Amino acid sequence: MADTLYDEEMLDELIDACIKHLRNQPNDDEKLFYMGNAFFLKKQFDKATFCYVKAVNKNPKNPVYFTHLGHAYRELGDRDQAIASYESVLALNPRFADAHFNIGLVFFDFKAYDKALTSFTNALSINQKYAAARYYIGRIYEEQGLTAKALKEYKQIVENNIAEKLAKSSVTIDFGAVFTDLGLLDQAEAEYKRLLRIHPNYADLHYHLGIILRKKGADDEAMEEFKHAIKLNPHYMEARRKYWESAQ
């Protein structure tokens, strides 16, 4: 589902921009991570894995890198490496509920239900309202023929009124932010304008577009975007500050 949110050409453009950047700054783990995400969304999981491994090697203290590396290994069907990656997250933070959940998903995929149940239960012990973990616990009970216990879990999800996405992997890219970070202001501007056509009442998008326009020297246009952001969110103090800075 997430893949359809991204234009293939935009993913290629981001990859090319990251490659050019990394020629001059090969130790930039963040850009390696961005590039890995782009390859992931293109379903080129071997290339995504390569990028994530390099990012992890540059910065082994970032649990997000290990999480995405686990997602890539999981898509490649490498259960052991996926679990090892998620366990690296837990080595950095034992109470990272998502890591327990992701380990549970790997075991669930391979029908190792007892181990999966342990991992999902660990996630739920950290976050009692972790709907996805509770959902998969219910699924396991169903597989084991424990219908009453499964229904109890499903009922609890409804009572908690949690609408969590149950996707097996979560990899996204904020193209506007990445292009801005890489100094590609025209691409960043185009992306924020595209998003505003879809979400015209999203104050943050107007704010970020204003930042881009101001960097490009279009102060009047930037002021209009900051004004839109303030109109949508009168308490948006940072937008107010940028508006007055542009007005001076």
Pair of tokens at residue 48: 């995504």
Q: Do 155 and 206 fall into the same domain?
A: no
CATH number of the domain that 215 lies in? 1.25.40.10
Q: Report in angstroms the alpha-carbon separations of 225 from 151, 194, 239.
A: 49, 14, 9
Domain tally for the chain?
A: 2
Residue 35 above 70 pLDDT? yes
Q: Do 148 and 207 fall into the same domain?
A: no
Residue at 81 is within a domain: yes
Phi, psi values for residue 57, rounded to 5°: -65, -35
Residue 127 above 50 pLDDT? yes
Q: Do 154 and 190 fall into the same domain?
A: no
Q: Do 191 and 101 fall into the same domain?
A: no
pLDDT at 1: 33
Instruction: Tokens 């981001």: give the residue.
Output: 14
More confident residue, 150 or 108: 108
pLDDT mean over 54-69: 94
Q: Do 199 and 78 fall into the same domain?
A: no
Residue at 57 is within a domain: yes
pLDDT mean over 13-21: 90
Residue at 168 is within a domain: no
Residue at 79 is within a domain: yes
Residue 162 above 50 pLDDT? no
Residue at 19 is within a domain: yes
Residue 238 above 80 pLDDT? yes
Q: Do 24 and 92 fall into the same domain?
A: yes
Q: Do 25 and 117 fall into the same domain?
A: yes
Q: How far apart are CA 132 and CA 165, in angstroms?
A: 7
List pLDDT tens digits, range 93-126: 999 999 999 999 999 988 999 999 999 999 999 9
Q: Do 199 and 237 fall into the same domain?
A: yes
Q: Do 92 and 117 fall into the same domain?
A: yes
Residues of the domain holding 214:
175-247
Q: Do 25 and 123 fall into the same domain?
A: yes
Q: Do 27 and 88 fall into the same domain?
A: yes
